[in-house]
Structure 1
Amino acid sequence: MRITCIAFALVLAATAQGAAVPNSHVVHEKRESPPSKWVKREKISSSYVLPMRIGLKQRNLDRGHSFLMDVSHPDSPNYAKHWTPEEVIEMFSPTEKTVDAVKEWLIDFGINSDRITHSDNQGWIAFDATTEEAENLLHTEYHIYEHSSTGHVTPACDSYHVPKHIREHVDYITPGIRLLSATKRGGTRPPTKTLPGYFPWSEEGELATCDKAITPACKYALTKQKYPFGKPRSDNSLGIYEEGDYYAQEDLDLFFANFTPYIPHGTHPSPAFIDGAEAPTDTANAGGESDLDFELAYPLIYPQTITLYQTDDLYYATNLNVTSGSFNTLLDALDGSYCTYSAYGETGDDPNLDPVYPDPTPGGYKGKLQCGIYKPTNVISISYGGQESDLPAYYQQRQCNEFMKLGLQGHSIFFASGDDGVAGPPGDDSSNGCLGDNSTIFSPAWPNSCPWVTNVGATKVYPGRTVFEPESAVVDPEGQPYSIAFSSGGGFSNIYPQPDYQKAAVAAFFEKHNPPYPYYEGNSSFGANGGIYNRIGRGYPDVAANGDNIATYNQGNYSSSGGTSASTPIFASIVNRINELRLNTGKNPIGFMNPALYSNPWMLNDITNGTNPGCGTVGFSAVPGWDPVTGLGTPNYPKMLAFFLTLP
């Protein structure tokens, strides 16, 4: 929930809570200091009602890795034998002991049982409480925090406490210490120039200028594909996620007319609109992200279809800058078990950071939060994200578990790795987007560091080079050609350890191409001995694709754009094409593909040139084998297709 102006007016100064924390309680979450753009404001009125949500510890999450490897590793006898949603719920729901212990704690405190609801996926307990009740329950103080750039305000505390015997049963509680600020991954990058409104379509002419503009013919040559053909299946649409950014049909039609005349005028994504979302928009308001995603994907998959997961009504999607609202409204709509409104009238989303429906604002979506209304497509491309430092580990881990569950069910989730090299966006945690007192520590991205998604970095055809020569990692200094710098996001998580499937590849990187930087080992030793990255964290990206100088039509003009938001739908489209052929032979979709990629890197084009600078360094280097700049490399469609068709 975002506090509206009316609600904000109810936030008044309250008296400080004087009771000391009893010895029976321990700190469950604590924030040392807020991210630099969040400002702590006044205390919240003691009578203000907070929608409290307690995330319960789920069972068997420690077995999630082995479960997912069992259906994802090509050497497993159960490869592609994906689980049903019901099997996932049954395996991971909290124990009765956990549910009973938390309910008993609340009732003993004075929260009547009729105020407490339990979600249908068993993962959440919800109740409304006044600020005074919540502060006394958790031995904390709630203040308003305001984001200095967006003006977004949210209630939060610096820390909170739970009884010692309850801690083992609780993941995290909201409102709590979370402060969230996430962004699009490129796509809206200011173009270098506006070009003529018509580009004569000629494959030969395009291939001669791929170092200046990546067109569909360039993409085919880079990935070694042929034009799509055949009758499309109805059960294999490519999913693309958008929030607060909208395509214009006129832009798509201009692109088709100039580059892909075999795609009919009027071709558009199938709507999967979530919680009042709408699309398309008029040309003047067309978003660079959405136009780019569709203009990249359609030439690679047509006549296959695209499903647009457009989330949230206009008020939430734009006015309150929830454009990357932790992806929870998307996950709610795809997985009813993730969403608690479906049976109990409350949500497992963060009620202070995610949209709340019905939306009371004028013109807002008046329906309930939509839960489990869409079956997830086999492949979903997501070009949005933030940094690990934007929010606590509990929140990220809980969401990461959902991506693991989607992988168990056979869905491939692709994320753009970010556009700021080893740093975050400038001004996020510091002026240069880096961490630590001196702003020198690399800032890993979220949810990219989750081990159960596939991260896509960016490459480019350097000036004077051709599509028949090896690509390089994107390194675009400010003004060359974009008005802001761009390099492929990559690095090592401060939250997740290296998953088994990538340990050998990461070890080889360190052995043969050891970076010249001091490091620390684990977040508990963050920055120790001058270390600027976590040597034992999950490495990303996993793969890469071209993401620079992309020819696009936006707001009626032909221009160039770039970002890992471009490389992600390219890689996702290729996997969608492979799934089509697997399905045609009676096989299941690939699902989570990282184990297959890391154990068979030969099917990708290794990238060995370029870096991803940031934090006063040149970043990491693209080298033979896996690296935290371009991962294992770019797609080689014939090799990937041949390999995945051999699997059961």
Structure 2
Amino acid sequence: MLRYSSMLLVTMATTAMAGQTLVESRELTPPGWKQTGHPAADKLIKFSIGIQPEDHELLERTLYEISDPSHANYGRHLSRDAANALLNPSQVATESVKRWLSDTGIPEHDVRDDGQWMHIRTTIGQAEGLLSTRFSVFARDGESVVRTREYSVPEEVSDHITTIQPTTLFPSLKKSRSRNIKRSVQDLEKKEVREKKSVSYGNPINLEQCKTELTPACLRKLYKMPANNYPEAHRRALYAIAGFSQQAAQYDQLEEFLRRFAPDQQGTEFSVSLVNGGQNPQGEYPSGEANLNIQYAVALADQVPIRFISVGGEDHDFNTDLDLYDSTEAWIEPFLDLTTYLVNLEDKKLPQTISISYGVNEQHLPKNHAKQICNMFGQLGARGVSVIVAAGNLGPGVSCQSNDGTNTTKFLPSFPASCPYVTSVGGTEGNSPEVASYMSSGGFSEYWPRPSWQDSTVSSYLRKYGDKWKGYYNPKGRAHPDVAALASGYQIMNHDIQETTGGTSAASPVFGAMIALINNERLKKGKPPMGFLNPWIYQVGSSGFTDITEGKSVGCQGTSIWGLPSPVVPNAGWDAVKGWDPVTGWGTPLFDRLRRLAI
């Protein structure tokens, strides 16, 4: 998990020519794309205009009210249309943009108003006049697209427009290309192949053996999660696992995993949704991450249907740094394709819980792009979806250097863990005692301010411990992770071999399985699902976690993920302390307590 990236796209606010404002531009064409010519002026083109919301705080305000257990609106989740309306523009903005389109010759029947977006159908010639630009044809691997490197709009509409696409953004790759990255994050996770027999489901649990060979039975024992003690699935119950990177979840490996480690779940399968050219081929394909996520989701989320959402594509548009230095070799997962798919699902088809075991350095994503993805997570929360994400496996950061041209030495928060509308899961290891994992990512966002639901908790932490790494982090930022779970020693089946793996990419689906069970039970009792969890966790649910007070994360050791020299910060890392901390959050779950508190 955690391939870092973002976009080379530059958003501007400077005057391009008299009466025109440059909205977006890019200096370079993404790797692999070559300009081959210009499209005919009468060629048809479709594009969408993003319009600024009327009230930028309406989404957050509404989400927090729905998610605050002390508020009268708690649990009153919204429909798809109502959630989309939270980001609708003002009538003034909409009319201004429509007038601009009309004045430049775009007929009304070629404009579809969708609230946040206005969808246009026109010709290349009209589009070039509309956007004060020149389109070109770009080709790569047999695929061709029409794009431009910059575009402008009149000053009178520039404040209303967030983006116009597809213009400067190029498609992600639909097929995986060979990569030669120095170190992937999965390489940072402990992983070893084992053929020997592991902790058996039916035998008494040996907690000492669980330290190195973690199984569903170990997790049930440690986290007070008894088996065969849950109601049948509600007709709407669904737990989704996000898949990227051409990872395939293999049916035969799940079958063998359940036979070895969760025989009461034998015969349980999962469904698959394919997004943006995603696939789920069986056989000799990359599958370790997908198998890990699916096997523990199925084994632990008794009765709840599991769906694997395979999202295709590789995004090579990002701001490079020392961790991902070459955009021709490195890439990130197309999160926007996932969130766009989810927010457009009908209410009856929406999962109540989703786990995402992938992430990037926050600084790799342009702020506007990250906020667009995060806002969609907020819309999902407002509709009753609990979004669970892995915190990451890079401690306080690996390269620990900014990519804004100043080369500032600093800790690096991760995304989407830093989004204030998701629940971020850090990592631990061992038992008796359980301690913070050295790899568990955490810290403080530089894109989002600290949200109200964690203000008291984090302020208290900073008063006691905030001076230790002063200057390396943003003390006013959204703090993460929120919770944690074990992140080492996981036994999985992969290509007919029993392997040991780990990382917060394992912790996330485990915690997600617990929330999926709680959501299902609430639905069976006629209650709404938990939805966005964090206000509840910080107000009520924190007593349902074991506080982790030993161990620390490790980072900033002088070598980036790419293998390049990087700044050294001696002894850099966040300590696990009493109460909330930026390595394990509130600690690890005690399912029986969480269940009582939530149901």
Interval of TM-score (by shorter of Structure 1 and Structure 2) = 0.7 to 0.9
Question: 1:506: which partner in 2?
Answer: 458
Q: 2:39 aligns with which of 23, 30, 47?
A: 47
C-alpha distance in 1 between matches for 2:358 and 2:162: 25
SS in 1 for 2:478: strand
Deviation string 1:304-349 (CA, Å, 9 cap, x unpaired) is: 3212223349999xx9998721242x3444333xxxxxxxxxxxxx
Contact 1:513 1:623 in 2 (8 A): no
Residue 335 (structure 2) aligned to one of 321, 326, 330: 326
Change (3 A) 1:272 1:47: closer
Moved more, 398-407 or 610-619: 610-619
Unmatched runs of 5 consecutive residues or more in structure 2: 1-14, 174-180, 317-327, 557-566
> How far 1:177 moved relative to its partner?
5.9
Given the alignment, which residue of 62, 66, 89 partners 2:57? Answer: 62
Offset at residue 593 of structure 1 (A): 0.9
Whole-angstrom CA distance in 1 between matches of 2:501 and 2:275: 27
Give the number of equivalent residue pairs: 546
Matches within 5 A, 1:16-55: 21-29=16-24, 45-47=37-39, 51-55=46-50
Residue 171 of structure 1 corresponds to: 162
Partner of 2:509: 569
Match of 2:381 among 399, 402, 407: 407
Residues 612, 261 of structure 1: alpha-carbon distance in 2 compared, 3 angstrom cutoff: same
1:634 match: 588
When residues 191 and 277 of structure 1 are mapped into structure 2, their CA distance, relative to the original with a 3 A threshold, is same
Identical amino acids, percent of aligned pairs: 27
Match of 1:610 in 2: 552
The change in CA–CA distance for 1:637 and 1:448 in structure 2 (over 3 A counts) is same
Corresponding position: 1:580 with 2:510? no
**Hey, what's the Cα distance between the residues in 1 that align with 2:166 and 2:340?**
19
Q: Distance in 2 between matches of 1:490 and 1:436?
A: 24
- Going from structure 1 to structure 2, the CA distance change for 1:511 and 1:138 (only over 3 Å counts) comes to farther
- Look up the equivalent residue of 1:473 and give its one-letter code: A
Partner of 1:458: 427
**C-alpha distance in 2 between matches for 1:395 and 1:488:** 25
8 Å Cα contact 1:473-1:622 kept in structure 2: yes
Say which of 259, 268, 275 aligns to 1:257. Answer: 259
Shift of 1:541: 1.5
Q: 2:598 aligned with 1:644, yes or no?
A: yes
User: Conserved in 2, the CA contact under 8 Å of 1:272 and 1:374?
Assistant: no
1:449 and 2:406 aligned: no
1:555 aligns with 2:495: yes
Equivalent residue for 2:89?
Answer: 94
**Partners in 2 of 1:375 and 1:102 — Cα distance?**
34
Per-residue deviation, residues 243-293 of structure 1 (Å, max 9, x unmatched): 3211112211221121112121x42112334466443512x2250111001
- Aligned counterparts of 2:148 and 2:575: Cα–Cα separation in 1: 40
| Letter aligned with residue 60 of structure 1 | D
Aligned twin of 1:235: 236
Alignment partner of 1:494 is 2:435? no
Deviations along 1:449-478, one digit per CA (max 9) or x if unpaired, are 2211111111111xxxxx3x2322222xxx
- The answer as to whether partners of 1:152 and 1:320 remain within 8 angstroms in 2 is no
* Matching residue's letter, 1:295: Q
Partner of 1:471: 434
Instruction: Look up the equivalent residue of 2:239 and give its one-letter code.
Output: L
3-state DSSP of counterpart to 2:417: coil
Q: Is the 8 A contact 1:232 1:304 kept in 2?
A: yes
Matches within 5 A, 1:205-216: 206-216=206-216
Partner of 1:3: none
Q: How does 1:290-369 map to 2 (within 5 A)?
A: 290-312=290-312, 324-328=333-337, 330-336=338-344
- Native 8 Å contact 2:65 2:71 kept in 1: yes
Secondary structure at the aligned position of 2:506 is classed as helix
The Cα offsets for residues 1-57 of structure 1, whole Å up to 9 and x where unpaired, read as xxxxxxxxxxxxxxxxxxx833423344567x88xx966987674437775332112
> Which amino acid counterpart does residue 375 of structure 2 have in structure 1?
N
Contact 1:385 1:447 in 2 (8 A): yes
Structure 1 pair 435–289 and aligned structure 2 pair: CA distance change class (3 A): farther
What pairs up with 1:135-154 in 2 under 5 angstroms? 137-138=130-131
**CA offsets 1:69-90 (integer angstroms, 9 cap, x no match):** 2211111122112122233244
Q: Give unmatched runs, 5+ long, in structure 1.
A: 1-19, 337-370, 462-466, 476-486, 520-531
**Structure 1 residue identity aligned to 2:52:** K
- The CA deviation at 1:492 is 1.9
CA distance in 1, matches of 2:196, 2:247: 22
Q: 1:186 touches 1:289 (CA, 8 Å); kept in 2? A: no
Paired residue type of 1:610: K
Q: Which amino acid aligns with 1:606?
A: D
Distance 1:298 1:280 in 2: 19
Q: Aligned partners of 2:464, 2:143: CA distance in 1, in Å?
A: 46
Provide the residue aligned with 2:11 in structure 1: none
Q: 1:380-399 alignment to 2 at 5 Å?
A: 380-399=354-373
Q: Please give the secondary structure, in 2, of the residue aligned with 1:272.
A: strand
Does the residue aligned with 1:262 lie in a helix, a strand or coil?
Answer: helix
**Are the counterparts in 2 of residues 220 and 227 from structure 1 also a CA contact under 8 Å?**
yes
**Alpha-carbon distance, 1:186 to partner:** 5.7
Letter in 2 for 1:409: R
The answer as to whether partners of 1:509 and 1:626 remain within 8 angstroms in 2 is yes
Taking a change above 3 Å as real, the CA distance of residues 588 and 115 of structure 1, as seen in their structure-2 partners, is: closer
Counterpart-to-counterpart distance in 2, 1:154 and 1:535 = 43
Shift of 1:191: 5.8
| Alpha carbons 2:389, 2:417 under 8 Å: kept | yes
Tell me the distance in 2 between the aligned counterparts of 1:180 and 1:459: 38
Residues 1:108 and 2:108 are matched in the alignment: no
3-state SS of paired residue (2:57): helix
Q: Distance in 2 between matches of 1:56 and 1:642?
A: 44
TM-score by structure 2 length?
A: 0.80
Change in CA separation of 1:228 and 1:613 when aligned onto 2, cut-off 3 Å: farther
Instruction: Name the aligned partner's letter for residue 553 of structure 2.
Output: T
Give the AA of the match of 1:79. Y
Q: CA RMSD in A?
A: 3.9
Is 2:296–2:510's contact at 8 Å kept on the other side of the alignment? Answer: yes
Q: Is the 8 A contact 1:180 1:391 kept in 2?
A: no
Give, in whole Å, the separation in 2 of the partners of 1:507 and 1:145: 51
Q: Secondary structure at the match of 1:208?
A: helix
Aligned to 1:271: 272
1:246 aligns with 2:209: no
Normalising by structure 1, we get a TM-score of 0.74
Q: Check conservation: 1:197, 1:557, Cα contact below 8 A.
A: no
- Name whichever of 62-71 and 169-178 sits farther off: 169-178
State the 1:200 CA deviation.
5.9
Compute the displacement of 1:205 (Å).
Answer: 5.1
> For residue 458 of structure 1, what is the amino acid of its counterpart?
G
